[in-house]
Amino acid sequence: MPAAIQIERQKEGLFRVRVREADTSTTHVVSVRPDYFQKLTRSGVTTEELIRRSFEFLLEHEPKEAILAEFDLAVIQRYFPDYEQEVRRRLAG
C-alpha cells in the first residue's frame, strides 16, 4: 500500500506534511520559495501538488524516517541531483 501524504498549509510558503505508512507516520515542515515554485512548475499546479510529487519522489529513494523533519524544498536537489528534472516530468505528465 502506498504512503498516505497529507499536506496542510501553515502560512504562505510553509507547509506541514504527514506521511503515513502502515501503523507509523512522520511529520515534516516544508518551505517553498515562490521563485523555486516557478522554476519547477511553470504550469497550473498548486504548491501542494508540487510537494506531493516531491514526497512521492523522496519515498522512492528513502524511507519516510530518513526525510528531514524540516527543510526547504530546494534542498532535495543537493541529495538527489535528478530531482528537479524528474519532478518537472511528473508534473507535466
When pLDDT is cut at 50, 70 and 90, the band that residue 4 belongs to is very high
pLDDT of residue 68: 97
Beta strands in the chain (DSSP E): 4-11, 14-21, 24-31, 70-72
Task: Tell me the whole-structure pTM to 2 decimals.
Answer: 0.95
Task: List, for residues 18-67, the tens digit of each pLDDT value.
Answer: 999 989 999 999 999 999 999 999 768 999 999 999 999 999 999 999 99
**Looking at residue 42, what is its pLDDT?**
76
Report the Cα 52 to chain-centroid distance in Å. 5
| Residue found under cell 543537493 | 78
6: β partners? 18
- What's residue 22's pLDDT? 87
Residue 43 confidence (pLDDT): 65
Instruction: Tell me how far apart the alpha carbons of residues 54 and 47 are, in angstroms, rounded to a whole number.
Output: 10
The mean pLDDT of 71-93, rounded to a whole number, is 95
